[in-house]
Amino acid sequence: MDFELWWLLSWPLFFGAGWLAARIDIRHLVNESRALPRSTLSGLNFLLNEQPDKAIDSFLEAVQLDPQTVELHFALGNLFRKRGELDRAIRIHQSLVDREVISEEHREQALQELGEDYLKAGLLDRAEAVYLQLRSTSRNEVANDSLLQIYQQEKNWQRAIDIARDMPRRGSHRWEVDIANFYCEIAATAMARSDFEAARVQLRLALESNRKCVRANLLLGEVLSAQGDDVSAVEAWQEIAHQDPMYLSLIAERLMDAHRRLGHEEKGAQFLKTHLGQTPSLDLLETVFKWEIERKGVDAAYTLVRDEIKRNPTLLGLEKLLEAAEHTIAPERKGDLDMVKSLIHSHTRRVARYCCKDCGFKARQFYWRCPACGGWETYPPKRTEEFDLAI
């Protein structure tokens, strides 16, 4: 009985303690709200009512009344940046960076925001200087990401290489792919000024970074061919078959030209036909089809395309079959064939495109770097129809 009485007496104490705690919290909240400038509350109200212009005016007034409102400065700077008023955003974030009394965390945040302002404004040199200050801080990863973006925009490939080497692995992303392509970009620049030895050095570095870099062997073959060494050029290009045979379509024409100069045209055609059977490709079929129709005649070319369509049915392949059939059909029927070819061509123009596997951006020409998302080697060397369509 005493035990039950004790519990009955304790209930009012519990309720009293709860009421007292609630009163303290409410008083604390009221005191905090009173400490805020009225203009801050007005600004929040304008934001909720989707009146950003009035909200900005209220926040500016609050900042002038209380310069210590760091978070409000950040909110105001971000609002300016989203509105495209970059000069005002820069002034807000620069004022935070220049403040003498500010925590290190807030200073780093202000530097990051300032760097974003400069990037949006296209002031890459200033953005670079800001992000260099953020390296080796808690925002090192953000700084490296931004610096890598800047150096790629500036085509400063050597600095991009240095930054990418310090980047941590992210899931399935392999930085060695990017680094190898940076070396290829340097090599391509050297090739443009006919400095083939410098290009070869960079391409060797690309292959050391990523032994599966198809682009490096493709460019190496071009360098060797330009230097008159077709034997070594053919070896470099044929190495692509071991890296990723799907990319042979990109060098099929050049490979056949090199074999032709060496007097080994039949050998080159057989090499391409073998890989066409293993890895279907419309571009590869185009090269082999031209050789067949020139060297072995229309019937052989027709048979080649017909067999390929049976294995890999596409409208683009059908268009090639009709081209071969045009040489064998009776003259009075050519008008009908031309009409069919025209109908098919009007459709294939829409599907004869390359497509980025990361962002889906489509283009008529092949890119090593997607113009939309900036990813390296995100374009498979196959047309859209080869992935999406079947007859």
**Binding site, annotated residues:** 356, 359, 370, 373
- Residue pair 60/76 in contact (Cβ under 8 Å)? The answer is yes
**Binding site, annotated residues for Fe cation:** 356, 359, 370, 373
CB atoms inside a 10 Å sphere around CB 82: 11
- Residue pair 75/44 in contact (Cβ under 8 Å)? The answer is no
